[in-house]
């Protein structure tokens, strides 16, 4: 029987600009987050390693707080990993920090909450939708979707409340393989003001394919007066994808953070939940 090599499981905190990437999952002949990470690790260690992410973000979706795990050979100095791996990655993808975690930690299955934000640029530009899109400042073009500024935020807040809780979100999802569960629990949906903008911030235990962008599209339709807040419950009850709004473009969406049980991250006793962020990782992460 072949010997099993000793490894240490590391959690990686990642940020990336998804504009030039074809999503998270490895694809042949296309740059992806997982593919670039695994290629960089193979160059660094001289052997293939599997990287598992907390969420399979779509093409064009950004991340400020994506989390992944990898099993690193014990002999490799952990403090070198972040700078050495970043030197082999494109500037659009950064390992912000890395730390040893429990062998039971799993970036996807251990997550208890994920938080996304969809960023809207609020435009006062006269004319049609093309004119609205042209009004986006250059520094926002890769991460904001433009809409008209006269949104009814009270109506949007009421619709957001109707989206919280446990529901069957079939109507707000893209087609998925048969047998996959469609009931999800959304913990919070809130509107956050930005300079000349608005963020739709969604937290939940997990999301269906395309669900967050469809939720954002629904809230924009309510804000624009094309739907009523009362329509949300009716839409969810219908389980009919054909009645859903159009999903907003991918470039406005960003994965902000992922939360885990504190024990799996080595947090102090009594800390029930923690997120992988530099303030929690500390010097042991090799983030100096």
Place of tokens 């919280």: 164
Q: What is the helix (H) or strand (E) element at residue 197, kind and residue range?
A: strand 197-204
Query: Whole-angstrom Cα distance, residue 115 to residue 187?
Result: 10
Nearest to 157, CA basis, from 205, 123, 201:
201
If 0-12 CB within 10 Å is exposed, 13-18 middle and 19+ buried, where does residue 70 land? buried
Domains 7-110+262-285 and 113-255 share a fold: yes
Q: Domains of the chain: which residue ranges?
A: 7-110+262-285, 113-255
Q: Give catalytic residue positions.
A: 58
Class of the domain covering 7-110+262-285: alpha beta
How many residues in total does the chain contain?
Answer: 288
* DSSP annotation of 181: -
C-alpha to C-alpha distances, 42 to 72, 85, 122, 235, 260, nearest whole angstrom: 11, 10, 44, 47, 28
Query: Whole-angstrom Cα distance, residue 39 to residue 48?
Result: 8
pLDDT one digit per residue (tens) for the chain, 288 residues:
444 569 999 999 999 999 999 999 999 899 999 999 999 999 999 999 999 999 899 999 999 999 999 999 988 888 899 999 999 999 999 999 999 999 999 999 999 999 999 999 998 888 777 788 888 888 898 999 999 999 999 999 999 999 999 999 999 998 766 667 899 999 999 999 999 999 999 999 999 999 999 999 999 999 999 999 999 999 999 999 999 999 999 999 999 999 998 766 654 444 555 555 544 333 333 332
Q: Determine the topology of domain 113-255 in CATH.
A: Alpha-Beta Plaits (3.30.70)
Q: What is the pTM of this model?
A: 0.89
R_g (Cα) of the chain, nearest Å: 20
Query: Whole-angstrom Cα distance, residue 255 to residue 61?
Result: 8
């Amino acid at each position: 029987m072949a010997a099993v090599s000793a490894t240490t499981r590391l959690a990686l905190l990642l940020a990336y600009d998804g504009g030039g990437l074809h999503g998270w999952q490895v694809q042949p002949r296309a740059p992806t987050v997982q593919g670039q990470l695994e290629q960089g690790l193979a160059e660094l260690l001289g052997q293939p390693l599997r990287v598992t992410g907390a969420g399979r973000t779509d093409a064009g979706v950004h991340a400020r707080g994506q989390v992944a795990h990898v099993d690193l050979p014990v002999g490799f100095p952990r403090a070198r990993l972040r700078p050495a791996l970043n030197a082999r990655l494109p500037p659009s993808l950064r390992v912000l920090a890395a730390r040893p975690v429990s062998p039971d930690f799993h970036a996807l299955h251990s997550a208890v909450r994920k938080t996304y934000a969809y960023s809207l640029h609020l435009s006062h530009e006269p004319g049609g939708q093309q004119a609205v899109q042209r009004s986006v400042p250059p520094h926002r073009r890769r991460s904001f979707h433009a809409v008209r500024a006269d949104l009814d935020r009270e109506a949007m807040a009421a619709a957001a409340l109707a989206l919280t809780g446990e529901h069957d979100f079939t109507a707000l999802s893209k087609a998925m393989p048969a047998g996959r569960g469609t009931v999800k629990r959304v913990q919070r949906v809130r509107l956050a003001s930005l300079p000349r903008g608005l963020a739709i911030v969604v937290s939940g235990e997990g999301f269906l394919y395309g669900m967050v962008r469809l939720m954002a599209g629904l809230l924009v339709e309510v804000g624009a007066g094309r739907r009523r807040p009362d329509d949300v419950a009716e839409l969810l009850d219908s389980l009919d994808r054909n009645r859903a709004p159009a999903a907003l473009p991918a470039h406005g969406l960003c994965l902000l953070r992922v939360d885990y049980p504190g024990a799996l991250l080595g947090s102090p006793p009594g800390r029930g939940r923690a997120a992988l962020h530099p303030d929690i990782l500390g010097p042991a992460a090799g983030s100096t």
